[in-house]
Amino acid sequence: MPQSRAAGLLAIYPHITSRDRHLLQLLDDHQVLTTDQIHRLLFSARRTCQIRLGELRALGLLDRFRFSRDGGGSQPWHWVLGHNGHRFQAAAHDRAEPTSRSSRQLVQRLSANPNLTHLLTANEFFVRLTTFSRRRAETRLDRWWSETTTTKQYRTVTADGHGLWSASGTTVGFFLEADTGSEPLGRVVAKLDRYAALIRRSGPRYPVLFWLRSHQREEHLHELLRGRRGDVPTATATHDAEPAAAVWLPAASTRRIRLVELPSDHGQPVADNPNYDDDGVFVL
């Protein structure tokens, strides 16, 4: 990049804390988070969070948008990378220097994305796990992959997210299907065919978590799951539930269990299984 532009970015560096860098990476990976989600992820006091977000916006590291709420009022602020945030992340990951136009277009496309609610719902699932682990020292979210990263790593699987969750020495993997009610349940269930293909290739046999917007939709989904073979482990819960707790109802079961209790197999060290390095050693 031209030296004058590089110098402009370098001048911001003394104002960037390790927490700020963590937030920039989260937004680089997961595109958008609300004020409340950022508060729960990284801050103790909401007012401190609001002040810091305003400061980062003034530095051009963050940008924000929000819409009006039906019936009056406004939705929460949605935070994304600003132009300097995109520049900082590009430098950190050896990517091409973005232009101000490209950064602006990214924000505009994201704010107008019809799947924005779905994206925020998927992110909320992982925010809750992270928040839970902040309160419980024996738990930890070891991996939080977005849909884009999950698809890149597993190729044929297009989950809304993928994670590794550890509790009391046990680590389970999972694939997330965050449901907002926009798809017919038959189409939702049909996605399991791709997970079955992954298992047949000696990939991980992780439970597919259907996180649903209502108990009625959950009941209807279980009716459809009863007609399928059990080659892919599945479990359901609703948006009002704490994902780490005993809220998951496996297919063909009547007892809800904790996330860490779900069956989980990391698969074999084959070429397209990202759980293993070149030496066949399991890596988080």
pLDDT one-digit tens code per residue, 109-145: 999 999 999 999 999 999 999 999 999 999 999 999 9
pLDDT one-digit tens code per residue, 51-76: 999 999 999 999 999 998 888 888 99
> How high is the pLDDT of residue 220?
96
- Please, where are the H alpha helices in 15-82? 18-30, 35-42, 46-58
DSSP string over 76-136: PPEEEE-HHHHHHHHHHTT-PPPPHHHHHHHHHHHHT-TTHHHHHHHHHHHHHHHHHHHH-
Q: Which residue's structure tokens are 């698809």?
A: 151
> How high is the pLDDT of residue 5?
57
The answer, yes or no, to whether residue 7 has pLDDT greater than 80, is no
> How high is the pLDDT of residue 3?
46
Global pTM reads 0.94
> How high is the pLDDT of residue 28?
98
Report the sign of the C-alpha dihedral through residues 274, 277, 281, 282, in that order: negative
> How high is the pLDDT of residue 9?
87
> How high is the pLDDT of residue 2?
47
pLDDT one-digit tens code per residue, 218-273: 999 999 999 787 789 999 999 999 999 999 999 989 999 999 999 999 999 988 79
The answer, yes or no, to whether residue 4 has pLDDT greater than 60, is no
- Calpha distance 132→139 (Å, rounded): 8
Listed in order, strand segments (DSSP E) in 136-197 are 139-146, 161-167, 170-178
Which of residues 5 and 22 earns the better pLDDT score? Answer: 22
For the residues 21-49, what does the mean pLDDT come to?
98
> How high is the pLDDT of residue 258?
98
pLDDT one-digit tens code per residue, 158-209: 899 999 999 999 999 999 999 999 889 999 999 999 999 999 999 999 999 9
